[in-house]
Structures are given as structure tokens and as C-alpha cells.
Amino acid sequence: MYQEKRVLGIIPARAGSKGVPGKNVRLIAGKPLINYTINTALASGIFDYLLVSTDGKDIAQVAKEAGAKVPFLRPPELATDTAKGIDVLFHAIDWCRENKMEFDWIIYLQPTSPLRSDEDIYNACTLMLERRAKAIVSVCEMDHHPWWSNVLPEDGCMKSFMRPEVVNTNRQGLPKYYRLNGAIYIAELEFLRQHKSWFGNQTYAYIMPQERSVDIDNPIDFALAEQLLSTFG
């Protein structure tokens, strides 16, 4: 329990990754990828129940050995490429309710963000209280400013590629832009039930540094995360 809030942690870990096959249990800097998220979640001291939602028996075994609960295997219809994260989330929440477990807050931690720290989780929860927020979502500053980007016509002509206000402007003169980094999502359960989303008028950003914001989606991300974990982890 955190500040009199009963907290459920949900770690989604589908077995059928295509970008990096078997990534959730693939060794990275010496241990399975999913273990980093489980270990930091447990170290934060925030959670009343830490649940891994997976369809993979091998992932379930690794997760249990790391200290998480895996009370069910995810049904096939929630283990496809097109399955929505919010449906996976509520499948786990509803299972808990059916088994007489009620929670105030839900924290969703994707295992593809191994560099988030236990302090990040704790500080994001603290921000939730300080802001009197209904939800917190982690972000980081963008690596490449979106104003330097545009669509291209079929012929590749760049006549209108740059905005007039960006031409001859250095990076330091542009406003900061942020992106979702996928590391931490927190919300009051009733807010989630009402909105079916993490986003609303009382959702606030928890800002993380870029070096802890790697979200593994392909082999390059995996290699970068492994290098950072080997160097700083």
C-alpha cells in the first residue's frame, strides 16, 4: 500500500514479438529482459500485487521466479498483434475483482523499458499525489525536433519541406517537444473505467531523461539498451 492507496501493478508480456523474437525473456546484460521491470517494481515498495499478463508459459515461469504473480495465461484473443492494450489491462483488472482483490490505483509497466528505475516509479506516484492527478504518463524530450520533419510528395521535392519559422533557426531556439516513452502509466481505477484511456483533463506528465527512456521495439533498440545497462546498470 502506498499512502493508503491499494496499488495493482500490471506488466504485459506477449509471447509473439516480431521485432525482437522472444524479447521478453531474452537475456540482456546478463538477465531476462522482463526481470528488469519486475525487479525495479518490487524495489519501489509501491505495489500490493504485481501481476504479469502473458500468453507464454516460458515468460510465466521466468516472471514467477523473479517474484511476480502470474495467476493466469492470457487468452489467445488478447495475444494477437491487433489486441488493444486497454483490453489486456481490463482483463487483468477484472480477474482481480473476480478473485476478491480491489485496488485504487493501476500502474502499467511495459517490460520493453528496462532502464526505468525504482525511483522513477516512486517519484511518479509522488507526483500523482502532489498534482492531485487522476493519471500520470511518463515522457521524455524528443531526440529530433518534429519541426525538422515533414511528409514528402511522390516526386521527393522539398520545396515546402521546412516551416518558414524554422529556416535558419538553431535547435536551441525551438520549443521543447516531448514524446511518450512507454515506461510508466499510472491511473485511478475509476478514471480508467470511465475514460478507457490514460489521458484526460487531470493527466500529468512525469518527465524522464532520454538515457532511461529506451523502448525496445527492434534489434537496434535492444543493442542500445544492452549497452546502457552494461555501462550504467
Dihedral angle of Cα 67, 69, 73, 79, to the nearest 10 degrees:
-80
Q: Enter the C-alpha cell of residue 77.
A: 484473443
**Domain boundaries in the chain?**
7-141+178-232
pLDDT of res. 162: 86
Mean pLDDT of the chain: 95
pLDDT in tens, 153-188: 999 999 989 888 887 777 777 889 999 999 999 999
135: nearest Cα among 85, 194, 62: 194
- pLDDT of 231 above 90: no
**CATH number of the domain at 7-141+178-232, out of 3.40.50.880, 3.90.550.10, 3.90.1150.10, 3.40.50.980?**
3.90.550.10
Q: Enter the C-alpha cell of residue 116.
A: 526505468
| Residue matched to cell numbers 546484460 | 29
pLDDT of res. 126: 98
Average pLDDT (14-23) is 88
pTM > 0.85: yes
Give the integer Cα–Cα distance in Å for 233 and 227.
9
Confidence of residue 233 (pLDDT cuts 50, 70, 90): low
Confidence of residue 5 (pLDDT cuts 50, 70, 90): very high
- Asked whether the beta carbons of 49 and 101 are under 8 A apart, the reply is yes
Average pLDDT (27-42) is 98
